[in-house]
């Protein structure tokens, strides 16, 4: 176990030490102390290591992550896991706005609530939120799954493509071209797998699926006057 103090070592020092880990590193477990809401903690990692951040984080923690598992023992600031490619981020507290924006792969788990624009333009990431999510979540979501055990705010899935949304609670409103969909057996299996991976005990049958109505894919000539 490697323990580093962010205030003593500085952000660049900590991130450089994490970046220096190769695929076959023996230093697989790291703890970062004194996070104090700093920005860009554990950004751009590319090794199969486990990093635990003690305390809450600021902007962009775990951004561009590949392979690494990052656990935040606190709440996470805006843009956490932005453009993540693979690996896992687990947030014990709440997550601020645009969690997992444009992320291509891996999984993000939030034990508390996630704020607005959760999963905006998601491109393959799986996001599982135990609490609620804010407005405009999964705006322009292209691929991947957003699972919400609580409620979703206004305009869920506005202008979405092929991302899937599973919500157990209420949805305040659906965004443009997002609709309620049938929950078939393959979706129940998929959702059970996501919940298991996230370590959350919930029954897939309690969730409703939402996704693209696919009406915005092609230009409708009746809308010509709108431009």
Give me the sheet containing 123-129, strands edge to edge. 2-5, 29-33, 50-54, 69-73, 88-91, 107-110, 123-129, 143-148, 164-167, 208-212, 178-181
Asked if 54 is part of the footprint of another protein (rule: CB under 8 A), the reply reads no
Give min distance, CB of 161 to another protein, in A: 22
Give the binding range for another protein (CB under 8 A) out of 16-24, 113-121, 142-150, 195-203.
113-121
Sign of CA dihedral 107, 104, 140, 75: positive
Residue 96 interacts with another protein (CB under 8 A): yes or no:
yes
Residue of the chain from 31, 36, 64, 192 that contacts another protein (CB under 8 A): 36
76 vs 195 by CB, closer to another protein: 76
The verdict on 56 binding another protein (CB under 8 A) reads yes
| Site membership for another protein, residue 58 (CB under 8 A) | yes
- Block residue for tokens 């599982």: 128
Q: By CB under 8 A, name the one of 9, 33, 37, 131 that touches another protein.
A: 37
Measured distance CA(106)–CA(44) in Å, rounded:
14
Nearest-angstrom CA–CA distance, 159 and 166? 17
CA dist 131 and 33 (Å) reads: 26
Residues 6+ apart with CB under 8 A from 20: none
Residue 154, token pair as written in the block: 């206004």
81 binds another protein (CB under 8 A): no
Query: Closest distance between another protein and the C-beta of residue 86, in Å?
Result: 27
Q: Decide: 63 and 39 in contact? Cβ < 8 Å.
A: no
- Report if residue 78 touches another protein, rule: CB under 8 A: yes
What whole-number distance in Å separates Cα of residue 191 and Cα of residue 172? 22
With contacts defined by CB under 8 A, how many residues of the chain interact with another protein?
20
Quick check: 75 binds another protein (CB under 8 A)?
Answer: yes
139 near another protein, rule: CB under 8 A: no
Residue among 21, 65, 69, 97 that touches another protein (CB under 8 A): 97
Beta-carbon count within 10 A of 202 CB: 17
Binding site for another protein (CB under 8 A): 36-38, 55-56, 58-59, 75, 77-78, 93-94, 96-97, 115-117, 134-136
């Amino acid at each position: 176990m490697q323990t580093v103090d962010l205030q003593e070592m500085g952000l660049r020092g900590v991130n450089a030490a994490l970046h220096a880990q190769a695929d076959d590193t023996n230093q697989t477990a790291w703890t970062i102390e004194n996070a104090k809401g700093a920005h860009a903690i554990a950004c751009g990692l590319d090794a199969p290591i486990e990093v635990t951040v003690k305390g809450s984080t600021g902007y962009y923690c775990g951004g561009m992550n590949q392979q690494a598992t990052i656990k935040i023992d606190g709440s996470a600031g805006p843009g956490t896991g932005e453009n993540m490619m693979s690996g896992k981020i687990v947030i014990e507290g709440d997550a601020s706005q645009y969690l997992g924006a444009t992320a291509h792969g891996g999984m993000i788990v939030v034990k508390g609530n996630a704020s607005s624009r959760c999963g905006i333009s998601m491109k393959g990431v799986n996001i599982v939120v135990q609490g609620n999510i804010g407005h405009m979540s999964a705006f322009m979501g292209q691929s991947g799954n957003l699972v919400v055990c609580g409620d979703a705010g206004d305009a869920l899935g506005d202008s979405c493509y092929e991302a899937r949304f599973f919500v157990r609670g209420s949805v305040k409103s659906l965004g443009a071209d997002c609709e309620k969909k049938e929950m078939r057996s393959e979706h129940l299996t998929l959702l059970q797998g996501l919940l298991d991976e996230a370590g959350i005990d919930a029954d897939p049958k309690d969730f409703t699926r939402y996704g693209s109505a696919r009406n915005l894919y092609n230009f409708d000539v009746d809308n010509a006057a709108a431009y």
